[in-house]
Amino acid sequence: MAPTSKPTRSPASSTVQPAAKALPRRRRKEARPQELTAAALSLFVEKGFAATKLEEVAARAGVSKGTLYLYFDSKEALFKAVIAEGIVPALEEGEALLAEHADDPVALLRELLYGWWERIGNTELGGIPKLMISEARNFPEVAAYYHERVIQRGLRLIGDAVRLGVRRGLFRPESPELVGNLFIAPVLHLSMWRHSFAACCARDLDADAFLAIWFELFINGLGVRPAEGGR
């Protein structure tokens, strides 16, 4: 019996195609610094500046410590980037409101108050003031940066709003710097309470009610009294 010939297969049908390899996930290079600053912010708020290690930041961001050093050469540089990306834009928005509300300083101050809470106080960034108060003396370079870029700039912004109210005869001519400190102090308390006692052993404060009561007290206290308005 003649041997049965084997059916021929075309090269295409006889070749076993290897399983498609999953391409490595490529991350946008420009997105990585933001991932690092987001991880740093979380750790700074959780552990404090001194206790946070750069390798922890890298691990939380899902990169190597060497990759972190491609973008930031120190923990101080990383902290400055957190401030520049997270808080400074909120201050820039507040400064832009000066022109929009030049004829209504009360509305301007309300926008500044609630805008600060929405953009900073009610987010992880709200933990930064507590961190700075507790660690400023141990890290004077970081404290000086924060004081210049955030505190002084914020106080100037509030002071400008107060001066608008004085010029329009709505506010008493008190020191804009002192009024600025008085304006922001209760809001800092609200934020620090959330990141301290409310995080472990006490109820959080009702932020909406707190801000509403505080703003009414502030505006009524700063307003021109009838006798002063008549002079």
Instruction: For the chain, give the mean pLDDT.
Output: 87
Judge if pTM exceeds 0.85. no
Is the distance from CB of 222 to CB of 174 less than 8 angstroms?
yes
Instruction: Categorize the per-residue pLDDT at 227 as very low, low, confident or very high, splitting at 50, 70 and 90.
Output: low
Per-residue pLDDT at 32: 86
Instruction: Categorize the per-residue pLDDT at 226 as very low, low, confident or very high, splitting at 50, 70 and 90.
Output: low
Q: How many other C-beta atoms can be found within 10 angstroms of the C-beta atom of residue 138?
A: 11
**Domains, in order of start, for the chain:** 29-75 (1.10.10.60), 87-226 (1.10.357.10)
* CA–CA distance, 40 with 46 (Å, rounded to integer): 10
Range 112-116 average pLDDT: 96
Distances (CA, A) of 66 to 61, 80, 174: 12, 19, 52
* CA–CA distance, 187 with 114 (Å, rounded to integer): 10
Instruction: Categorize the per-residue pLDDT at 2 as very low, low, confident or very high, splitting at 50, 70 and 90.
Output: very low
3 pLDDT exceeds 70?
no
Range 3-8 average pLDDT: 47
Is the distance from CB of 49 to CB of 31 less than 8 angstroms?
no
Instruction: Categorize the per-residue pLDDT at 99 as very low, low, confident or very high, splitting at 50, 70 and 90.
Output: confident
Per-residue pLDDT at 26: 47
* CA–CA distance, 183 with 219 (Å, rounded to integer): 10
4 pLDDT exceeds 90?
no
- CA end-to-end distance (rounded Å), the chain: 129
Share of the chain above pLDDT 70, in %: 84
Per-residue pLDDT at 108: 96
Instruction: Categorize the per-residue pLDDT at 36 as very low, low, confident or very high, splitting at 50, 70 and 90.
Output: very high
* CA–CA distance, 229 with 39 (Å, rounded to integer): 52
109 pLDDT exceeds 50?
yes
Tokens 């002084």 locate to 152
Instruction: Categorize the per-residue pLDDT at 222 as very low, low, confident or very high, splitting at 50, 70 and 90.
Output: very high
Q: Which residues contact 187 (CB under 8 A, 6 or more apart)?
A: 113, 116, 117, 121, 211, 214
Reported residue count of the chain is 231
Concatenated DSSP letters for 148-197?
IIIIIHHHHHHHHHHHHHHHTTSB----HHHHHHHHHHHHHHHHHHHTTG
178 pLDDT exceeds 50?
yes
10 pLDDT exceeds 60?
no
Range 173-187 average pLDDT: 95
Burial (CB count <10 Å: 0-12, 13-18, 19+), residue 153: middle
Could you report the per-residue pLDDT of 128-167, keeping only the tens digit for each? 999 999 999 999 999 999 999 999 999 999 999 999 999 9
With b for 16 or more beta-carbon neighbours within 10 A and e for fewer, the 174-190 pattern comes to eebeebbeebbebbbeb
